[in-house]
Chain A
Amino acid sequence: MWQNILEFFQTSGYAGFANSQMMVLRFIPGELIMIVISCVLLYMGIGRKFEPLLLVPIAFGMLLSNLPFGGVFTPAEGGQPGGLIYYLYYGVKMGIYPPLIFLGVGAMTDFGPLIANPKSLLLGAAAQIGIFIPFVIAFYLGKAFPSLGFDLKAAASIGIIGGADGPTAIYLTSKLKPELLGPIAIAAYSYMALVPLIQPPIMKALTTKRERQIKMEQLREVTKVEKIVFPIAVTIFIGLILPSAVPLLGSLMLGNLFRESGVTARLSDTAQNAMMNILTIFLGVSVGATANAARFLQPQTLMIIALGLFAFSCGTACGVLFGKIMCAATGGKVNPLIGSAGVSAVPMAARVSQVVGQRENPENYLLMHAMGPNVAGVIGSAVAAGVMLSFLG
């Protein structure tokens, strides 16, 4: 009996710490550090309100999977069922959750400002250059320091952080480099939350006071028919040019069609509420659970965090610079500040454009003009992910 009791205590989490395979500085078990990190992420999500809908499930998933012997992420083996998150993770592994979440995002998105001002699509394209610059750098880093393990697939997964679009980043990474899901998802959502801190200095550095004061013409009204035809036409157009973008873009556009058709309100409502919330919980918890100590507590995690910040900055800069080109080309009708919204991070980036613009000229209302590049950025990063997938997937 005492023998059995002793064995029982051998299965406690403390015993798990003692036998951890990942001792940092030779005496701190890696799992414990991961638990602390997950608490910090919970604090960021709850205390600081950084994208809490995703960061809270991600952080809690990380917490659960790092409790030694907790078994929530244990694979099924030899007839024994696996842990809960092992099953939830299937939806990530098979690329099911991100497109279905995009369905909900589509049902929430109003493409009206983009239809009213189609040129803003180009700003959404320009900001995606912020995906490719860190891709190049990550690739050369990987060549220089092979121990980082940054091959092309890893580089593409890092670059996509610059797309500022969570489901796209998770979808691409799950296809190319699932072992990096944890740090990439955390970086993507954290920087999306930090957009109001990251963007303004870059925006100011690259524009003149005069440019920032430009007022833009009011947008035309968009008819209901245009809004209905838009998602269908986008699916066909881009689906024919770049088939690998169909899963993400097609779902986004189907959700948007549910929203705009006027006859499928039931489906639109469920897609953006019950279904999306369920999938968000499942996605967050299972992405978080991939971040185990042995994988996460590595130099490349820090590198990913750093490159992610760089990616966001590149995207912002490219958007603003292209805005300046459009400003020049239109004879000063485009305020370059709306270019930064092209990174997506809907709707924060558009609000940042509004705030920065209004600070220079209190009567300047850029919000609706920035929403165009903002939603274009969602399409743009899905296209970029499609290209990555068709070369590397």
Chain B
Amino acid sequence: MANSDTYAGVSSPANGKVFEVETRVKSNTEVNGEYRLLILDAPQRVLDCQPGQFFHLLCPSTLENAPYLRRPMSIYGYYPEKGELHFLYKVTGEGTRALAELLPGDALNVLGPLGKGFSIAKDWRHLLLVARGVGLATLAPLAQEARRRGRKLTAICSARSPEVLMSVDLFRGMGAEVITVTDAEGSSGMENIEAIIQGRIDVGEVDALYTCGSNRMLRLLQKIGAEHGIPGEIALEQQMACGLGMCQCCVRSFRRNDQIVHERVCREGPVFDMQEAMAW
């Protein structure tokens, strides 16, 4: 419907401005059996993004799928020089099925960039991230930013089998060191990941931890972070209606100053302090 692209005076807490814009699909291809890469031709003004931010996509209505609400998607890549916005998504339900039907040239209305992204403090030289599944999409831009700022980044990529380690090339391409762990090889267990991270810490190569998604990973990294006094951040998900902070549907609980507080994933997040986050 609406395709005006109004200037967002109240900015998202982290950095930029929010716009509702009509984009064009450049390509929308299968990456492997489960994931798809959507590349949009997007106006410059929405490409001033931060790693960890997301867009709210108005998925099209098709004959079989009629998603009603928008769908939140992490920014997998933003390239102002090419005018491109990338999303990596997994087809799970009505909205993503409708996304999967988009063809080059089709229009897609997006709202963003939204939310608060990852931070990289001045003195964090060595960053370590642990990603699994579609969490790769959320963490990929962090690697890009780390390189831009000249930080060293280690990515532990976890997956079911080696074949689905799709972003390894991407992380490598951005100069990150990549460690893969898979269910198939039996290397993706929490103990093994803990051992890998411990090894890095032992040689003084972890200044900050990043992850997103799973509860088990959150607990593990919270433990490691607490033991060694290493700060960390986690990107969280929650059902969203407005994506802007108005409806309060996307709250999660956080531990802060010995109290439980509720914060909106779309507005105060989706990136939160690792120690404050609560498993769910």
A binds B: no
| A residues in contact (CB < 8 Å) with B | none
| B residues in contact (CB < 8 Å) with A | none
